[in-house]
Chains A and B, each alone.
Chain A
Amino acid sequence: MNSIRYKSLTFEQVHVGDTLPPLAHEVTTTSIILGALASRDWRPMHHDRDFAQQRNGTRDIFMNTPNQAAWLERFITDWAGPKARIGRYKFRMGDSICPGDNMVFNGEVLGTEMDEQGCGWVSLRIALSVGSEEKTRFTARVALPVDEHDNPWARSGDRWRP
């Protein structure tokens, strides 16, 4: 099979303090509903404005948790490329993301670590903001290839320690 060319960061190219390219998106009713249905989340606060306002007291329908995670995944792999394999992420939600919000992801490399199995890990701190307000804070642990021949996706069992 021919080798396919694509951009993918390697572990040695990443350093503590590096920043990820920001990702901005103008949130719409469509994007929130599309994200909820794509993640099979049928709860009405993610597609029914009256319900969201009257039952949840929110400004409008709001982005569901799996869809925030999907945006996070895109943000990380836009930066790191297809060889990057997310091991774990954690987040704390503040206020809701609603239609009309211009959400922006920003991220920074907090640490780098090579585990006992030779897997290269980077720790990221990521914020999802609207204007000056930080809505959700994330941390993520992502495996990057240690060199151009390495492939984190080939790891399994004891060789994969997320």
Chain B
Amino acid sequence: MPHNDDFTIGLNEALSWLDQKRHAVVGEFDVERGYFWTACAAVQNGNPLYWDEQLAAQLTGGPTAPLTLLSAWFRPHYWMPGRDTIPLPWQTHFDLKETLALPEAVATDSEVVFGEPIRPGDRIHCCETLRSLSEVKTTKLGKGRFWVIDAVCHNQHDVWVGTETMTGFGYRNVGARQGQQG
């Protein structure tokens, strides 16, 4: 690799992204209940909050989405007419890989904080922000940089519904794997 020892490639550009809102996306469809049940079925989640209409009305004022479906509401469809490529969630993560010339990356940590419940008919929008970019670090995977990215999500009334925070490590020189590659 021609730039194997140069870890300043693209650094100034990447640093200019710190605390800037990037890649605002709006969900391509309204939140729908079919997904609630599909998601619950996938993990055999029998929480009556998601299956019992009367209980949902009593506790949450009506149906709400399983909390951990948050990211589903702004993920793009696999295919749409006229679209040549699939937009990637966590686009900033992939931008950093490319800009910093770090061909490999893993997501090492994930944190999600939940706000107002998401309900059928909601339309979720989300915006990414790069929160930090580390000095060059060496791990058992290789040499590279850690970064922390927030994805802040609101509903159509601009009410906060949740924030996902992802820590990634972009690196060169693959060794033993750790985390999920992305």
* Cβ of B71 under 8 Å from chain A: yes
- On chain B, the number of residues with a Cβ less than 8 Å from chain A's Cβ atoms is 45
Inter-chain contact B69/A39, CB cutoff 8 Å: yes
Contact of B47 among A31, A82, A87, A96 (CB under 8 A): A82
Inter-chain contact A151/B59, CB cutoff 8 Å: yes
Contacts of B46 in A (CB 8 A): 78
Which applies to chain A's interface (DSSP): helix, strand, loop or mixed?
A: mixed
* Cβ of B179 under 8 Å from chain A: yes
Inter-chain contact B86/A70, CB cutoff 8 Å: no
Q: Which of B4-12, B16-24, B112-120, B127-135 contacts A (4 or more CB under 8 A)?
A: B112-120
* Cβ of B25 under 8 Å from chain A: no
* Cβ of B80 under 8 Å from chain A: no
Q: Which residues 160-182 in B have Cβ within 8 Å of A in the complex? A: 177-182
In the bound complex, how far is the Cα of B111 from the Cα of A83, in angstroms? 22
In the bound complex, how far is the Cα of B177 from the Cα of A58, in angstroms? 9
In the bound complex, how far is the Cα of B111 from the Cα of A72, in angstroms? 13
Contact of B35 among A38, A72, A151, A160 (CB under 8 A): A38
- On chain A, the number of residues with a Cβ less than 8 Å from chain B's Cβ atoms is 52
Contacts of A104 in B (CB 8 A): none
Q: Separation in Å of the A112 CB from the closest CB of chain B?
A: 19
0/1 string, B130-156, CB within 8 A of A gives 1: 000000000000000000000000000
Contacts of A85 in B (CB 8 A): 114
Inter-chain contact A82/B49, CB cutoff 8 Å: yes
- Nearest neighbor of B159 in chain A, beta-carbon distance: A156
Q: Which of A10-18, A61-69, A114-122, A123-131 contacts B (4 or more CB under 8 A)?
A: A61-69
Contact of A94 among B38, B114, B178 (CB under 8 A): B178
- Given A39-B72, A70-B69, A153-B60, also A65-B42 (CB < 8 A): no
Inter-chain contact A74/B72, CB cutoff 8 Å: no
* Cβ of B15 under 8 Å from chain A: no
In the bound complex, how far is the Cα of B41 from the Cα of A6, in angstroms? 20
0/1 string, A78-110, CB within 8 A of B gives 1: 100011011111111111100000000000000
* Cβ of B99 under 8 Å from chain A: no
* Shortest 9 CB-CB contacts between residues of A and residues of B: A69-B68, A82-B49, A90-B111, A74-B45, A40-B75, A38-B42, A88-B113, A42-B78, A38-B39
B residues bordering A, Cβ < 8 Å? Answer: 35, 38-39, 41-49, 52, 54-55, 57-60, 66-69, 71-72, 75, 78, 86, 107-117, 177-182
